[in-house]
Amino acid sequence: MSKILISGCGLSWSKQERPTWVKVLRICGVDIDDQAGPAISNQLILNNMIESVMNNDYAQAVCQLTSTMKLDVELTNDKRKEVAGQDSIRNFTYNNYWPSSGSSEHESKKLYYEYLHSPSIEESDIIYKWMLLKKLCEEKNIKLHTVLGYSISWKNKNYKVIDTDHEYCVWNDYTNGEYWKLHDHSQGEKNTVPNKHFHLHLARKFNKDFLKLDIDDKLQKFHD
């Protein structure tokens, strides 16, 4: 059994037209259960992983955390669907959720972030959900790997229990490296997914750093 569970935001989601490092691994024949989603929050990323680990067996799991201040709205009525469709950036849905992200574009979101959002509770939620995920993986002998997709400015001192390189994040690696010059800037800030050249680099990096899969020849052929 060698299936790999992966969850994250659009940086990892393989079911999109643009290639991601997860799609690269799939093309190379890696058996992947992709529970990532476009623009989803850390809470939904972790919920997807926890539910998957509880109900399935995997050899490895990769948790790609994203930025904070994201809001996943469950589409329980037509009014919510109408609001989602009017958003100029996050006007799509995912598994009956609206991954709306933080903005003041709509009055409801503006009021939420101004009066209701609690950053400390959000951070604690991420930390404790991750701890539960780690515990479940240990019980089922699943190797858990965690990477930061975007940097998180933690205020909760317990964040260091999350077993990852807190000095590394995918987006900073991209914007500070050679692949940034090939980025598609035509959509302005709307395009927050790295180009295919970087995703191939990322697939190679993650395989070398922790996945340790015997696919180097396939990755080279993909590059060629």
Tell me: the pLDDT tens digits for 116-156? 999 999 999 999 999 999 999 999 999 999 999 999 999 99
Distances (CA, A) of 203 to 42, 84, 151: 21, 33, 19
Q: How many CA atoms lie within 13 A of 49 on its CB side?
A: 35
Q: What pLDDT was estimated at residue 59?
A: 97
Do residues 162 and 139 touch, judged by C-beta distance below 8 A?
Answer: no
Residue range 71-118, pLDDT digits in tens: 899 999 998 888 888 887 788 889 999 898 777 777 888 888 889 999
User: Quick check: 190 pLDDT over 70?
Assistant: no
| Amino acid letter, residue 52 | S
Residue whose token pair is 């699943």: 142
Amino acid, single-letter form, for residue 10: G
**β-pair partners for 60:** 4, 143
pTM for this model (two decimals): 0.93
Domains of the chain, residue spans: 4-69+119-223, 72-116
- Note the pLDDT of residue 83: 85
DSSP lists the bridge partners of residue 74 as: 97
In the CATH hierarchy, which top-level class contains the domain 4-69+119-223?
alpha beta
Tell me 54's DSSP state.
Answer: H
H helices within 42-143, ranges in order? 42-55, 78-86, 107-111, 119-139
Residue 63: both structure tokens together: 């948790």
